[in-house]
Chain A
Amino acid sequence: MTRLEATRRLRVLLKTEAVIASLGHPAYDLFEAGDRAENFYLWGSMGLASSIGLGIAMAQPGRRVVVLDGDGSLLMNLGSLATIATVAPPNLLLLVWDNELYGTTGGQPTATAEGSDLAEAAQALGIRQAVTVREPEAFDKVVDRALREPGPWVIVAKVGESGTASKPPLDSPMIKRRFMAAIGCPE
């Protein structure tokens, strides 16, 4: 399954969850799958999607938070897995789109192409509910479970590239205000 197909499958399961998308293709595909006010699209800050999601989950314990990270981006901030394990927010789902590439910058291979295993890394750093999925049916099943049962969850989804052309708005302050209003803390 491609990242866009997987993002569309996730989109069907979403209700009021806050969704944070890492820069580049993960954000493009989230926008393409259907814009919503509870989406927060990064345009930079490579690596920080999981940290931002952790902060939101801490501030809003009553709301589910879903982070859509890239394998390259998570590799840039692996310490985040240790902090998530330590804080252990039950309302956080970190979904890693592992295409084994820096897809947005031209398709250079990441370490996961050579066998680095991000779900095992998450487990080793203390996140017990960390799994890898490849098939659409298995993806639906584990994501549905992670949206209902206490986490933190890390789901590494092995995906292919999508080639999405559409892009989220460039007006970052507008996205921020819209997002904050939608999750109940207007500025």
Chain B
Amino acid sequence: MTSVVQVSWAREVCRGLAALECREVVWVPDNPLSHVLRALEQDHPDIRTTIATREEEAFGIAAGLYLGGARPVVMLQSSGLGNSINALASLNVAFEIPVLMLVTMRGGDGEWNPTQQPMGRAVRPILDSLEIPHSTIESADRAEAIVRHVGQRAFATRRPGACLLARALWGEAGSGKREE
């Protein structure tokens, strides 16, 4: 069983997606995202989830969903932003195709895997260089509001918008469980 705290942040994030009328989530796996997927399954069975083989592909599928009238979400680990830069630049930004991004942030304090550090550090500068607004979510009680805010701005201005899910939000302090 997952702890109450984890379920609560994931549920709050999903409430934000539902309030935005996002019914399409394209994703590439990461450990904390499994909580979001479980919350979607339990609380929002009307939201379709589609797994992609690579994050760049996920942004392509999401762009197509938008062209077809949906409000898409892409969920990825911070490392996957590196796999997606050209799609964000030449598709989302160039065509003015919005997408709401949920990015689980690796690297930083508490990171056990050194290979996650460089990309983790690069996430915000990369988003800034593409002029993609981003907000960091650090606590469950702010999660729904931040998701709504970032999503509303993204779909109103036809740009991508990113919610960065901090370790403080999803980390399993003291559980000893590793994030791959």
Binding site for B on A (CB under 8 A): 20, 40, 42-48, 50-60, 77, 79-80, 82-83, 86-87, 172-173, 175-176, 179-180, 183-185, 187
Report the Cα distance A50→B53, complex, angstroms: 13
Q: In the complex, how many angstroms separate the beta carbon of B133 from the nearest chain A beta carbon?
A: 19
Which of B92-100, B104-112, B120-128 has 4 or more CB atoms under 8 Å from chain A? B92-100
Interface residues on chain B, number (Cβ under 8 Å)? 34
| CB nearest to B69 among chain A residues | A185
Report the Cα distance A55→B68, complex, angstroms: 7
| Interface pair A55/B57, CB less than 8 Å apart | no
If A48-B87, A83-B57 touch, whether A56 touches B94 (CB-CB below 8 Å) is no
| Interface pair A54/B91, CB less than 8 Å apart | no
| Interface pair A59/B56, CB less than 8 Å apart | no
Map CB proximity to A onto B17-55 as digits: 1 under 8 Å, 0 otherwise. 000000010100000000000000000000010111110
Map CB proximity to A onto B55-78 as digits: 1 under 8 Å, 0 otherwise. 011111111111111101000000
| Interface pair A51/B60, CB less than 8 Å apart | yes
| Interface pair A59/B95, CB less than 8 Å apart | no
Report the Cα distance A48→B94, complex, angstroms: 14
| CB nearest to A186 among chain B residues | B69
B90 CB within 8 Å of chain A: yes
| Interface pair A176/B53, CB less than 8 Å apart | no
Report the Cα distance A6→B87, complex, angstroms: 28
Q: In the complex, how many angstroms separate the beta carbon of A73 from the nearest chain B beta carbon?
A: 11
**Of the residues A45, A55, A172, contact of B67 by C-beta under 8 Å:** A55
Q: In the complex, how many angstroms separate the beta carbon of B61 from the nearest chain A beta carbon?
A: 4
Q: In the complex, how many angstroms separate the beta carbon of B56 from the nearest chain A beta carbon?
A: 7
| Interface pair B90/A45, CB less than 8 Å apart | yes
| CB nearest to A187 among chain B residues | B158
If A52-B64, A53-B64, A56-B67 touch, whether A77 touches B57 (CB-CB below 8 Å) is yes
| Interface pair B67/A52, CB less than 8 Å apart | yes
| Interface pair A52/B53, CB less than 8 Å apart | no
Q: Which 9 A-B pairs have the closest CB atoms?
A: A55-B64, A59-B68, A51-B60, A79-B53, A44-B90, A185-B69, A48-B60, A52-B64, A55-B65
B86 CB within 8 Å of chain A: yes
A-B contact pairs, 30 of them (CB 8 A): A40-B67, A43-B94, A44-B94, A45-B86, A48-B63, A48-B91, A50-B60, A51-B64, A52-B64, A53-B64, A54-B64, A55-B64, A55-B66, A55-B68, A56-B64, A56-B65, A57-B68, A58-B24, A59-B65, A59-B69, A59-B70, A60-B68, A77-B56, A77-B60, A79-B52, A79-B53, A86-B51, A172-B95, A180-B69, A185-B69
**Of the residues A44, A80, A86, contact of B57 by C-beta under 8 Å:** A80
- Give the chain B neighbours of A176 by CB distance below 8 A: 67, 95-97
| Interface pair A80/B87, CB less than 8 Å apart | no
Interface centre among A42, A59, A176 (most CB of B within 10 A): A59
- Give the chain B neighbours of A53 by CB distance below 8 A: 64
| CB nearest to A185 among chain B residues | B69
| Interface pair A59/B67, CB less than 8 Å apart | yes
| Interface pair A52/B63, CB less than 8 Å apart | yes
- Give the chain B neighbours of A20 by CB distance below 8 A: 64
Report the Cα distance A44→B70, complex, angstroms: 23
| Interface pair A43/B90, CB less than 8 Å apart | yes
- Give the chain A neighbours of B62 by CB distance below 8 A: 55
